[in-house]
Amino acid sequence: MSAPVVERRETPPRDGSLFLRTLSGEALPTPPVWLMRQAGRYLPEYRELRARAGGFLDLCYTPALATEVTLQPIRRFGFDAAILFSDILVVPHALGQHVGFVEGEGPRLEPVTSRAEFGRLRDEIDLAMLAPVYETVSRVRSELAPEKALIGFCGAPYTVATYMVAGRGGDEQAPARLLAYRDPEAFSELIDRLVEASAAHLVAQLEAGADAVQIFDSWSGDLPPDEFTRWSTEPIRALCERVRARVPDAKILAFPRGAGAKLAGFARAVPANAFGLATSEDLRAARAAVPAGVALQGAIDPLALMAGGAALDRAVDRVLEELGGAPLVVNLGHGVRQHTPPEHVGQLVARVRRNR
């Protein structure tokens, strides 16, 4: 791993951060709240800035703009945590894969589908290429109030591999799964490289000032149990261990989206401080599946958020009731959708905090 690009900043202890206290195992009467994809196209101020920024990756790699976009939802809604504005696909980009974003369609990568093609990627992640991302982390941290936490992130090795092999997103995980069955050694080599690259990327974000990091595993939930253990649980466990070897007190959230009954085994193996729950999870079963004192994060339906009104209040109350009384970070079960009215986000935050 190359040396960190940005020096670790001396940061004051943030005892006032409800988010960090929850990750340390405290059950708070009013839990912290932030939302996946809280920055983005549902916000008019994002759309306005995005139109001036050029391409999506240009926005991610321009610290002044990425900082502004990260802070927009904090100013508007007062969330307890900001999430760095970036993307999981900067890791393949810094491994030398061609990555682009097609307007209105999503990511397009030049697919890597064999050992020979993996061989054309860099052996190690080029952290210098991601220096603007780490600069964004330090800028955001210095502009955020001390009681607000800053979350860095990466995609889980399996999820990132599905994009690298298929060359695109959506429901196109079949190419990676086929490769995993046809040539498990080759797929395993790709996953191992992603473990190392992602660890270096998370450590660099923590050293630049991120208070915690989240690992997004958006696509492993469909895997059969043994494949899930091999391609999701084990690589994420290894990733957490690599990060903690460099930053022993790193706060880590793992989000194995849609793990369902596989969550219990995942949570036993992965040494995270919190586990994210998708909309579809049985919340009480999930609580019983994770070790006592470990935080859970989730799991309001993004479509209840879009609907608003009484349906949204009920969705918030259900999460508070079924997951409250133990360490809880209120969030959605997946990202905010594009056509969500911003006032509904305000309603969600007010509902969580109404007894405060």
Alpha-carbon radius of gyration of the chain: 19
What stretches of 255-330 show up as alpha helix (H) in DSSP?
263-269, 283-289, 302-307, 309-323
Q: Are 88 and 159 in contact (CB under 8 A)?
A: yes
Residue 282 near residue 288 (C-beta atoms within 8 A)? no
3-state secondary structure of 232: helix
Least Å distance, CB 61 to ligand CP3, is 13
Catalytic sites, residue numbers: 37, 41, 50, 87, 163
- Shortest Å distance, C-beta 1 to ligand CP3: 23
| Of 7 and 58, CB closest to ligand CP3 | 58
Q: Where on the chain is the footprint of ligand CP3 (CB under 6 A)?
A: 36-41, 50, 56, 83, 85-89, 101, 106-107, 153, 155, 169, 216, 218, 335
Annotated binding site for substrate: 37-41, 87, 163, 218, 334
| Residue 102: DSSP 8-state | E
In the complex with ligand CP3, which residue's Cβ is closer, 103 or 343?
103
> Residue 208 in contact with residue 9, Cβ under 8 Å?
yes
Q: CB neighbours (10 Å) of residue 30?
A: 15
Nearer to ligand CP3, 64 or 245 (CB): 64
Measure the N-to-C terminal CA separation of the chain; round to a whole number of Å: 45
Report the largest interatomic distance among the alpha carbons of the chain, rounded to a whole angstrom. 59
Nearer to ligand CP3, 63 or 169 (CB): 169
As measured in angstroms, the least distance from the Cβ of 21 to ligand CP3 is 22
